[in-house]
Amino acid sequence: MTYTFDILGVAPVFTFFNYQQDVEQRPERSLAYVASYDCTLDSLIKSTELIPRRPDWDWDAVTQTMVNFWLRNPEPIQRWKQELDSLGKDNLLVGRVANLERLRQTFESLL
């Protein structure tokens, strides 16, 4: 399976909770949201363990995808870190992991 990871932005804790709860309602979902109070790779990887109903994905491949994103995007990551730091402790850095096969199937079912 192929995965993708991206940082979506900085959001209040409650907003992230709502995103996560919406996604959790779909058992065969193509997306999962992760979040951290810190803008570090380790904290985002650790947050994958906190996904309430983890999809049946290859989580080693997800982790590798997150590492690759981190290594290839130092400038945007630095900007997100500055934004997170400037907005204070009630906010989280929010990322999204997607299973590309399931995402494609979801889009095809819409047609």
The average pLDDT across 38-51 equals 94
- Using 50, 70 and 90 to split pLDDT, how confident is the model at 50? confident
Contact 51, 32 (CB under 8 A): yes
Q: Which residue has the tokens 């889009």?
A: 107
Contact 35, 93 (CB under 8 A): yes
- Tell me the C-alpha distance between 62 and 20, whole Å: 18
pTM: 0.87
Question: Which residues, in sequence order, are CB contacts of 81 under 8 Å at separation 6+?
Answer: 39, 93
Residue 42 has pLDDT above 90, yes or no: yes
Q: Which two tokens mark 111?
A: 């047609």
Residue 62 has pLDDT above 90, yes or no: yes
The 8-class DSSP code of residue 21 comes to H
- Using 50, 70 and 90 to split pLDDT, how confident is the model at 9? very high
The average pLDDT across 34-61 equals 92
